[in-house]
Homo-oligomer: A and B are copies of this chain.
Amino acid sequence: MMGQFVYTFLEGNKGMKNLLGGKGANLAEMTQLGLPVPSGFTITTEACKRYFEDQNTINSEIKKEVESAVAELEQRVGKSFDGDPCLLVSVRSGAVISMPGMMDTILNLGLNDKNIEAMGKSTGSMTFALDCYRRFIQMYSNVVLEIPMYHFESILDDCKEANDLKDDKDLSEENLRQLIGDYKQIVYNQTGSPFEQSPKKQLYAAIEAVFRSWNNERAKIYRHLNGIPDNMGTAVNVQMMVFGNMGDSSGTGVVFTRNPSSGENTLYGEFLMNAQGEDVVAGIRTPRPISELQEVDKKVYEELVTASQTLEAHYADMQDIEFTIEKGQFFLLQTRNGKRSANAAIKIAVDFVKAGIMDKRHAVNQLGLAQIDQLLHPKFDQEILKTTKELTLGLPASPGAATGKICFNAKAAHEANENGEDVILVRTETSPEDIQGMISAKGVLTARGGMTSHAAVVARGMGKSCVSGCIELEVNEENGTIKVGEELLKEGDYISIDGSTGKVYRGKIDTVSSSLDKDFLSIMDWADEFSKLDVLANADTPLDAKKSREFGAKGIGLCRTEHMFFDGQRIKDIREMIMAKTPSGRQIALDKLYPYQKEDFKGIFLAMETLPVNVRLLDPPLHEFLPKGKSEIQEMAEQLDVSYEDIIKVIEELAEVNPMMGLRGCRLGLIYPEVYAMQVRAIITAALEVMEEEGIAPRPEIMIPLVGNPEELSLLRKLAQRIIHELDPDAKLGQVKIGTMIEVPRASLVADQIAPHADYFSFGTNDLTQMTLGYSRDDSGTFIRKYKEQKIIKTDPFQSIDQEGVGQLIKMAIKKGKAHDSHLKIGVCGEHGGDPASVDFFNALDIQYVSCSPYRIPKARLAAAQAAIRNQSLETKAPATNKMQ
């Protein structure tokens, strides 16, 4: 079947976006609704594709349809290309997916030397008509004939200078006639032909130019950046011109149907009288708030209000509308779903649901995930930001804005914080020793390390702002300075970082904080109704645990125990354990650590009540607990009453070339079983005490890290079970689940052998990504950035799960694990749990939960709901829901 290549606005509708483009479909839809839209027609994307297939020619079939659409248009509006009044049209591109400003537009098409005089008469203003003609020649020449703009601009500038004129508006009829003559001369000089006088020929040339603009460089780059396929083509909208600049009863404006910043249900926007759309954008004259339009033209204002309400109700979404008033007559030129802040998005969605305009599913589904972060973290004052130049740019590692004095170490940060000062901890990279400093700081800035570096992971866990991998930054801790190029800052200077954008600023910038409101909580509850995946928290402290419940976590999916070892006395005890040469010596130190661990767990169990708390036994290599600097080693020697040399010896013994693949995780647990034994004892005793003291039944789960071999898990499971049975012989806590991380590639490969020893699998997608790709998360920042630039990879695999590679191992492990036990619980506890694309991937698999740091929970809940909805839609083959960004 041959398609129809041209649709008048009376024929199309909003469902025809693929064929008519977004603009064309909406113009047709508005026309269908009886709203005042200047008449016109749309040449389809299919016609564009045919144009390219036919070696850049418009074939006779399409031409025939255009001819007939033009004839119909002429008849409808009572004007014609070759008659009087003459028909003037705009020719605009209209892609399926909006590519604002990327392709070309021509206004006032149809003018020529002859009809310009008639137009002058009929409009009553020769300068208006001549100015239209001048602009048209310039636009046409540039877009269709590809003559560079500066040719025309320099002549215009010369003219204004020679006549001492400030504004284009001041050009006289004589000036304009002179300019038009000069412009036409440029065209002749550049092309060897006179300026095209036939409106029809102008039209075809313009249509071709718009088609061709699909493939101009900036459009191609935009598509590449936004992942838009190159073969979609653009539609072309041909529409009768209306003029907002025909005097004081004409005008133009832009409105949102609700406040896009707050979501408040009032018309929001601005207008200018005697102006064209471009004047509003150009900002030469200051537009007036839309409410004042009722004073200027009450009838038009009421028409606008009615049209807004109609469109909002019809599209079931807040609309962004362009309108023009031509001599008191109101026209709609465009409508589309309006962009809005996160707060507004939520308020609008909740209001719509309450008003019955939208259902919950749509309300949940249309929220932009990227915006959710905005809600949870402080932001810089946008006004101050406007006038502040960035110092440099790093990776947006943990969202939120923070400002404070530069500190280089934990001690200084702690002291400054005690003195009530805000601090930014600045390090080349952080290590577990910096935890205390990170707690004291408002934010963390590192020169090295990627999105999942130590600094990034810990900061996200704490909900602190973090910019990592700021490669231009030179940190000289010794001198107490940082440098970016020639710019130098000293310890104690103010610096500001935005962990949502990665931007770093010199000086202090005030922040404004956000909070979770009622509407937000409603949306989150609705989201959970659709989700297939539960969202749990990565939380290591009672404080984190509480925060995660505020954000709606269904439990703790990853409670790391190592951070518990860094506080004050504890680090001394763990170091004592490391220095011990015998199991009994280690036991003495572990006995000191035990009460701390137990108290921590009690706090967490209390906060989580009867929700599951999945505790991962000690994971990092022991050398992470040892000091690095000379003075710290000296201090440790004095504290523990051992020699400096002995410590150096142990540090050297424990040093590892590739600690990520060294003596850590269950390997530690097998070689020093007394450590894991102490931890299991602390967990179980804490749970029993909470039960006894508070009457709450906690749900501890015990997770063994870094298992790659079934025997590892089997041995440690037996160890844990023995202690559990010892402490809780009557199983008051029920059957305490013992599970394993799947984070070594081999674990996925032999998951069928591991499953018999596991009550659950939890994918540690960070480590699994590191080892599957061979990317050290601490070192890969540099080459991941280059790889993205060179298009070797599309996304940072630590941000968004590598579905093709790591994803295969995940699928394999699930299949093998479930083959052994179809009820095997399966979750994900890497930071990927908070990434929407990753959540989408996990949703499609047989996975029960994702776990992520507290501040990422809302986003994960929403992502889980959207993934489930999308998945359902796909299953029922319903059209994909339109999504805002």
Contacts and interface: CB of A to CB of B under 8 A. Distances in A.
Interface of A: 428, 652, 656-663, 667, 670-671, 706, 708-709, 711-712, 715, 743-746, 749-750, 753, 767, 770-776, 778-780, 782-783, 786-787, 790-793, 802, 804-806, 808-809
A771 B428 CA distance: 27
Given A656-B778, A745-B772, A792 B670 contact: yes
B787 A708 contact: no
A660 to B, nearest CB: 4
Contacts of A779: 656-659, 661-663
Contact of A767 (B745, B746, B774): B774
B775 A661 contact: yes
A805 B746 contact: yes
Contacts of A671: 782-783, 786
30 contacts: A428-B652, A657-B776, A657-B779, A658-B658, A658-B661, A658-B776, A658-B779, A660-B661, A661-B770, A661-B771, A661-B774, A663-B783, A667-B783, A708-B774, A709-B792, A709-B793, A711-B791, A711-B792, A715-B792, A744-B773, A745-B771, A745-B805, A746-B773, A746-B805, A749-B772, A749-B805, A749-B808, A753-B804, A767-B774, A771-B774
A656 B776 contact: yes
A744 B657 CA distance: 18
Nearest to A790: B670
Name which of A709, A771, A779 has the most chain B CB atoms within 10 A of its CB. Answer: A779
A662 to B, nearest CB: 4
B657 A659 contact: yes
* Copies of this polypeptide in the complex: 2
A743 B773 CA distance: 10
B745 A780 contact: no
Given A663-B783, A787-B670, A792-B709, A658 B744 contact: no
A809 B660 CA distance: 21
A177 to B, nearest CB: 57
Contacts of A774: 660-661, 706, 708, 743-746, 767, 771
Contact of A658 (B660, B706, B787, B808): B660
Contacts of A776: 656-662
Contact of A786 (B670, B780, B782): B670
Contacts of A780: 661-663
Contacts of A658: 658-661, 770, 776, 778-779
A783 B746 CA distance: 17
A793 B709 CA distance: 8
Name which of A656, A659, A749 has the most chain B CB atoms within 10 A of its CB. Answer: A749
Contact of A792 (B712, B744, B772, B787): B712
Nearest to A660: B658
A656 B658 CA distance: 9
Contacts of A786: 670-671
B802 A746 contact: yes
A660 B715 CA distance: 29
A633 B407 CA distance: 30
A772 B771 contact: yes
A662 B770 CA distance: 10
Contacts of A783: 663, 667, 670-671
| Shortest Cβ-Cβ A-B pairs, 7 listed | A658-B776, A661-B776, A746-B805, A657-B778, A662-B779, A744-B774, A656-B779
B773 A708 contact: yes
A660 B662 contact: no
Contacts of A745: 745, 771-774, 805, 809
Given A661-B661, A661-B780, 12 more contacts: A428-B652, A658-B661, A658-B778, A660-B776, A661-B776, A663-B780, A663-B783, A708-B774, A745-B772, A745-B773, A749-B772, A771-B774
Nearest to A454: B657
A816 to B, nearest CB: 11
Contact of A749 (B670, B775, B790, B809): B809
Name which of A652, A656, A753 has the most chain B CB atoms within 10 A of its CB. Answer: A656
A671 B789 CA distance: 11
A648 to B, nearest CB: 11
Contacts of A663: 779-780, 782-783
A224 to B, nearest CB: 15
Contacts of A791: 711
A306 B786 CA distance: 79
Contacts of A772: 744-746, 749, 771
A217 to B, nearest CB: 22
A127 B610 CA distance: 85
Contacts of A667: 783, 787
A652 B473 CA distance: 13
Nearest to A808: B749
Contacts of A657: 659-660, 776, 778-779
Name which of A657, A711, A772, A792 has the most chain B CB atoms within 10 A of its CB. Answer: A657
A774 to B, nearest CB: 4
A708 to B, nearest CB: 5
A745 B806 CA distance: 9
Contacts of A771: 661, 745, 771-772, 774
A783 B663 CA distance: 7
Nearest to A667: B783
Nearest to A794: B711
Nearest to A453: B657
A778 B778 CA distance: 19
A841 to B, nearest CB: 15
A671 B785 CA distance: 11
A622 to B, nearest CB: 12
A805 B745 CA distance: 8
A671 to B, nearest CB: 5
A706 B792 CA distance: 14
A466 B771 CA distance: 29
A791 B714 CA distance: 12
A705 to B, nearest CB: 11
Contacts of A709: 792-793
Contacts of A787: 667, 670
Nearest to A809: B749
A616 to B, nearest CB: 16
A528 to B, nearest CB: 34
Nearest to A471: B653
Contacts of A662: 776, 779-780
Nearest to A658: B776
A803 to B, nearest CB: 11
Nearest to A663: B783
B661 A805 contact: no
Nearest to A475: B652
A460 to B, nearest CB: 19
Nearest to A621: B779
Contacts of A428: 652
Nearest to A709: B792
B661 A749 contact: no
Nearest to A774: B744
Nearest to A805: B746
Nearest to A782: B663
